[in-house]
Every structure is written in structure tokens, then in C-alpha cells.
Amino acid sequence: MRKTKNTYHHGDLAESLLVAVDEIATKFGLEAVTLRACAKLVGVSPSAAFRHYSDKKALLTAFATRALDQLSLAMSDAQYAAVENSSNPFHAVCLAYVKFALEKPAFFRAMWREESLYTSDKNYIAAALNLQAHMQAGFADTIEDKDPDSISPQELLAWSSVHGLAKLFIEGTVGRDNTMEEKIERARDMIIALDSAIK
């Protein structure tokens, strides 16, 4: 797989650390992500990480940025598929958002943890704006929008509600004893209610 001849120089530590964050977060939760654990997983001394990231926060910001991109991708995939099936793209995009949160909670939580992110980071902001664009693209045919640069109240409602539902699910505030399927069903119902409120 990877040439482990020269063990001193790693090759692409920056990337490997991100993979390590992924692994640990997925397996043991975001709280278990520690610099030392990542370093150990990669097989490198803790201080090595600082050659590539100024901070733990910087590493997590990079990870969050990547997570945002994944979500954007999932949403545009869903939209594309909906157009193919000639089903409702608005529904599809909204549902994709909630589904992503349910299926990859570590990623979803990571991308919105302001307290452990540099939310002013250029790449992070760009990814967030990109996500917003994908969101609005999904709304395009459903919500009439005069000014495509700003967010209309309807768009804000749509985004807020899927975001909020995802959060409520993940926090366990809502649907604590629902199965995954039931949660998705509830999400679908909410999105239908949302739909009728928007057009």
C-alpha cells in the first residue's frame, strides 16, 4: 500500500492525520479525537502534527471543511438522482441533509462545533458558502427567489428546519427512541409540511 521504507519521513502526514481524525471520530466519537491519539494511530510522535497544523483547532477545522464538502456532495447527488427519477428535488435535498446527519453524526457534529473550530478560516468559510449554494440550488425550482445572492425568508426557513431537525435528532431531544427508519419517516413528514409552507 504505502512504502514504509523510510519511517522517518512519513510522506503525507497532513492527509494521514485527517484520516486518523475520521477513524477515531467514527469509531469512538468526536470527544475521543485527541492529537496524541491521532499521532499514535499514524505512527508518529505527537509533536510532528504541529509541522502541518498550527493547532488542534486547525486540524479540526480542516476536518470540518472536508465534512462540509462531503455533505455538499451528498446533497447534489440527491438532487441529481431526483431529477433523474423525476421526483421532487427539493424533498430530496432536504432529506439528504438530515440523512447525512443521522448516518455520519461525527462528521455532522464536527462541522458545526464552533468552539473547536476556526470559523473564520478561509477554506472553512468557502466550504460553508458552497454548502449554502448547494442548498439553494436544491430549492431553486421550489422557492421563488428574487435575489439569488441573499437568503430569502423561505430559504432560511428551509435551511433552518432541516438543520434544526438534524440537531434535535443528534442531540437526542427528539426521537430518542425512534429507529433510524422512523426518524427518516418523521423527517420526510416534516419536509412535506415545509413544502406546503413555502410555495
Partner DNA sequence: GGACTAATGTAAACGATGTTCACTTTTTTT
Partner DNA sequence: AAAAAAAGTGAACATCGTTTACATTAGTCC
Task: Give counts: helices (H), strands (E), the chain.
Answer: 8, 0
Report the partner that residue 168 touches, choosing among DNA, a second copy, none (CB closer than 5 to 8 A by kind): a second copy
Q: Which of residues 139-178 bind a second copy (CB under 8 A)?
A: 151, 153-154, 156-157, 159-168, 170-174
At closest approach, how far in Å is the CB of 13 from a second copy? 27
C-alpha dist (Å) from residue 126 to 22, 62, 66, 131? 21, 12, 11, 9
CA-wise closest residue to 161 among 130, 191, 141, 134: 191
Report the partner that residue 24 touches, choosing among a second copy, DNA, none (CB closer than 5 to 8 A by kind): none
Judged by beta carbon, residue 39 or residue 101, the one nearer DNA is: 39
Burial class (CB in 10 A: 0-12, 13-18, 19+), 88: middle
State yes or no: residue 29 binds DNA (CB under 7 A). no
CA-wise closest residue to 170 among 57, 53, 30, 64: 30
Q: What is the CA radius of gyration of the chain?
A: 19
State yes or no: residue 164 binds DNA (CB under 7 A). no
- Beta-strand runs (E) in the chain: none
Q: What region, left, alpha or beta, does residue 178 occupy, with left being phi > 0 and alpha being psi -120 to 50 degrees?
A: beta
Binder of DNA out of 28, 29, 47, 77 (CB under 7 A) = 47
Judged by beta carbon, residue 52 or residue 88, the one nearer a second copy is: 88
Q: Tally Cβ neighbours within 10 Å of residue 148.
A: 12
Binder of a second copy out of 4, 6, 179, 196 (CB under 8 A) = 196
- Binding track, positions 18-47, relative to a second copy; x by CB under 8 A: -----------xxx----------------
Judged by beta carbon, residue 23 or residue 195, the one nearer DNA is: 23
State yes or no: residue 135 binds a second copy (CB under 8 A). no
Q: Interface with a second copy by CB under 8 A: which residues?
A: 29-31, 109, 112, 114-115, 119, 128, 132, 151, 153-154, 156-157, 159-168, 170-174, 186, 189-190, 192-194, 196-198
